[in-house]
Amino acid sequence: MRSPVPHPPGRLALAGTLVCLALGFAAPLASASLAAQESWVVLVAGLGGTQEYRDEFRGWTEELHRALVEDRGVAPERIRVLGEQPDASPIVEERSTRANVLQVLGELAGTVGPEDRVVLVLVGHGTAQGSDAQFNLPGPDLGPEDFAGALMAFPTQTLALVHTGSASGGFLPPLSGENRVVITATRSPRERNATEFPGFFVEALSGDGADLDKDGRVSLLEAFQYANLETARFYDEEGEILTEHAVLDDNGDGEGSRDPGTEAPDGRLAARIHFGGGTGGAVTGTPAAAVDDPELAALYAERTAIQEQIDGLRASRDSMEQEAYDDALEELLVELALTNREIRATEDGGR
């Protein structure tokens, strides 16, 4: 077990069957805007307190940035990075002060489209005094109320906050809401030991181990499930008591789930936020092979739109007659298969 997080003097007190082809969320079928959605990511590495933690937070942030760009197809210009020591990392734009984090979110609010997705990942220590949780930064800390105010500037966008630090559970109830995913590494602000969850969350986006449905994409739900399971396995192998219990909320009730899924109270919205890559296409970016080929790029966009329609159909299954559902699913799967065949033929023809 790692010791409780360090803090400077004067700060607050210490704190068989694969998943279905496409995980779904109840949304209108055949939404033309889905293919046009873009994902924007803000990575914030907080105050380390010691050189060991500074290096660890910087390493996780750099690996997450690399994975998003190289493995998941997110355009670098859609990722903003803040860290404790900007001079120590080539990807860090600004120091991760309270003022700079809020400024970046304000700038982003004026840039993103009305139906875009914004994913905010916090890597660092959290502290809490009672139910008053804080994310530790150089200078003044940030609390849930700060983020609540900043996120009001995104009234129509899908938002995801992933707080990977200790005492992060205190951020979930205040930030829960409609069209939001809130993931915290702990279920309450009382879990104050340094967390292992962020390392496995980064790992989920760095390889294909978290791609449960093997569609070449990793959703936030899949990343959470992978990191949650690997964290528990780590503690078990170390023979230690599990001191962190990650939770996910995306139905707006302020109650985090330890075992979310598309058939559970939480998990459907998180399943729709994908980080693409490999052969599966991406909502968040265009595969590298299609960058210089407009025809191939259009096919990838078409496939993504079909996948999103399947997502919505699966989520609506309980409200449909079985025959109508089967007919609609068959039609979409045939359309998806034909599009995949056309993509392969176009890729092969360019070799």
Q: Is residue 221 part of a domain?
A: yes
Do residues 132 and 261 share a domain?
yes
Give average pLDDT by consecutive 10-residue segment, the chain, 351 residues.
52 29 30 59 97 97 96 93 97 97 97 95 95 95 97 96 97 97 97 96 90 83 95 93 96 96 94 66 42 78 82 80 80 77 73 50
Are 309 and 182 within one domain?
no
Residue 257 is assigned to a structural domain of this protein: yes
Residues 155 and 224 in one domain: yes
**Contact between residue 251 and residue 267 where contact means Cβ atoms under 8 Å apart:** no
Residue 141: what pLDDT?
A: 98
Please report, for the domain that includes residue 97, its CATH number.
3.40.50.1460
Assess if residue 22 is contained within a domain: no
Q: Are residues 271 and 292 in the same domain?
A: no
Integer Cα distance of 82 and 42 in angstroms: 8
Is 200 among the domain residues? yes
The angle, 0 to 180 degrees and rounded to 10, between the axes of the packed helices 220-238 and 197-206 is 130
Residue keyed to tokens 């599990």: 242
Q: How many domains does the chain have?
A: 2
Assigned domain for 209 exists: yes
Which helix (H) or strand (E) is 46 found in, with range?
A: none
Whether residues 299 and 231 fall in one domain: no
**Residue at a domain's end among 218, 253, 275:** 275
Q: pTM higher than 0.75 for the full model?
A: no
Domain shared by 253 and 337, yes or no: no
Clarify whether residues 91 and 183 are in a common domain: yes
CA 315 to chain centre: 20
Where b means 16+ CB within 10 Å and e means fewer, 100-138 reads bbeebbeebbeebeeebbbbbbbbbbbbbeeebbbbbbb
Residue in the block written with tokens 């390493």: 59
Beta-bridged to residue 4, according to DSSP, are 193
Which domain, by its residues, includes 296? 288-349
Residue 331 tokens read as 């039609």
In whole angstroms, what is the distance from residue 7 CA to residue 213 CA?
41
pLDDT of residue 4: 64
Q: Are the C-beta atoms of 157 and 118 separated by less than 8 Å? A: yes
- Of the candidates 217, 243, 275, which is a domain's last residue? 275
Of 246, 275, 304, the position where a domain reaches its end is 275
Cα 318 from Cα 323, distance rounded (Å): 12
Give the separation between CA 147 and CA 175, rounded to whole angstroms: 8
Question: What are the CA-CA distances from residue 270 to residues 182, 192, 290, 299 (Å)?
Answer: 9, 26, 26, 25
Residues 6 or more apart whose Cβ sits within 8 Å of residue 77: none
Whole-number pLDDT of residue 3:
60
Is 322 found in the same domain as 200? no
* pLDDT of the residue at 350: 53
Shared domain check, 245 and 295: no
Q: Does residue 293 lie within any of the structural domains?
A: yes
Q: Which residue has the tokens 């020591």?
A: 85
Here the tokens at position 308 are: 């999103």
Are 109 and 254 in the same domain?
yes
CA triple 235-241-245, angle to 5 deg: 75
Shared-domain flag, residues 271 and 293: no
Does 300 share its domain with 252?
no
d(CA 248, CA 236) in angstroms, rounded, equals: 22
- How far is Cα 35 from Cα 148, in angstroms, rounded to an integer? 28
pLDDT at position 199 is 97
